Structure 1
Amino acid sequence: MAEILYKYKDSVYANITNKCNCRCTFCIRFLKDGIGDTDTLWHQENPSKEEVLAAIRNYDFTGHDELVFCGYGEPTCALDILLAAAKVAKEEKGLKTRLNTNGLGCEENHGNIVPQLAEVIDSVSISLNAPNAQAYEKVTRPLVPSAFDKMVEFAKLCRDAIKEVKWSIVDVLPENQIEECRQLSEDTGIPLRIRHFS
């Protein structure tokens, strides 16, 4: 059975769904079954809200002050569970909450979800992956139309409602695309984090 909560480096992560509306060419879920301290993050069946909340309530977070919502699926594809779990993490465990997302949650849930996120999420990291729609479609292979524009709009909504928001890219992008991402970061007023691809 896949882990709902797992440790990776110095953080604790919540793996709440397998579902994702992208098929990124570099996604680790296509390369191996697990990461960090767990052998598998593939749920045979997606966990229920009750199972996720129980996992958080029963977990020993000693030495950790944050719970990160990031697994083998896109957390906003299980929005009801995400919101409930983040609330429990904050109110019952005293944790900060971070959402790692592809930024397509509004499209997935057919409306602006940012006000709901802002009530329980302290920081958001959005996978930019590419600096323009053409490159984004090629590397991210989204299952929704006009995904790049919708992702950028989501980022701007988060910027205006949530204290800490940043773009995230991996360092395997061509240098010219990294520079374009830096420019988009400047244009949107959202900081850019360049992660090492492992």
Structure 2
Amino acid sequence: MSSPRTSAIKTLPAQTIGYTLRDSRYLNITNRCTLRCEFCPKFNGMWAVQDYQLRLDHEPTLEEIVAAAGNPEDYREIVFCGLGEPTLRLYTLLEAATRLRHRAKRIRLNTDGLANLVYGRDVTPDMEGLIDALSVSLNAQDDETYNTHCRPKLPGAYEAMLDFVKCAREFVPEITLTAIDGLPGVDMAACEKIAQRLRVGFRRRVLDVVG
């Protein structure tokens, strides 16, 4: 007869590194983040996207990440995403993209755009030839609203994110800024104008709709 402890261990959900939404394959490589967004489900105790449990018991190795991509040619794109900021593992991310590059139709990175601030240098040239598209979380039309909702750990985050986008235009073919409709004080029209001024795309997201 199994002990209560053994039974509990058996019923724990498996760690999810790779997961599929629609025709994209997502890679969940860290739960760490440079932001503490009040709207992020993990800060409300929810670690699931659709039916995938994304809380990691360890940060996956390079080999685990590449294996979790499955057969990249079967998907429209490979996306570095998950409930964390992928660029906090920038060098592992870039090596994984290098290994997947020849098989993937498209590689996209979902990011908060704070990598330059974190690493103290412009990292966007490192993405050239590896990352086809960036989805950058703009989330607000000004610094004050951004800080209210995103609660960055590092000072100067909003301007750093905008500067990251300006730098990345030289090295990543497609960039899209995103903002969440439904957050108090967020002006979607103003957010879209920022994207237009930066000469990048814009996508409206909906509050509490994840994935």
TM-score (norm 1): 0.91
Percent identical pairs in the alignment equals 34
Report if the CA contact (8 A) 1:168-1:193 is conserved.
yes
**Corresponding position: 1:186 with 2:199:** no
Q: Distance in 2 between matches of 1:50 and 1:179?
A: 42
Amino acid at match of 1:34: A
Give 4+ residue runs of structure 1 displaced > 4 Å after superposition: none
Report if the CA contact (8 A) 2:78-2:104 is conserved.
no
Q: CA deviation at 1:46?
A: 1.0
- Aligned match of 2:48: 34
Report if the CA contact (8 A) 1:2-1:41 is conserved.
yes
Q: Distance in 2 between matches of 1:94 and 1:152?
A: 28
- Aligned match of 2:126: 116
Q: Which runs of 5+ in 2 are unaligned?
A: 1-13
Kindly tell me: are residues 13 and 179 of structure 1, through their superposed partners in 2, closer, same or farther at Cα, counting changes over 3 Å?
same
Q: CA deviation at 1:153?
A: 0.1
Write out aligned runs for 1:1-198 (5 A). Answer: 1-31=14-44, 32-38=46-52, 40-56=53-69, 59-61=70-72, 63-91=74-102, 93-173=103-183, 177-197=187-207, 198=209
Q: Distance in 1 between matches of 2:22 and 2:42?
A: 18
Alignment length, in residue pairs? 194
Q: Distance in 2 between matches of 1:61 and 1:189?
A: 30
- Compare CA radii of gyration and give the structure with the larger one: 2
Q: Distance in 2 between matches of 1:176 and 1:37?
A: 29
Q: Distance in 2 between matches of 1:175 and 1:143?
A: 21
Report if the CA contact (8 A) 1:7-1:36 is conserved.
no
Report if the CA contact (8 A) 1:89-1:95 is conserved.
no
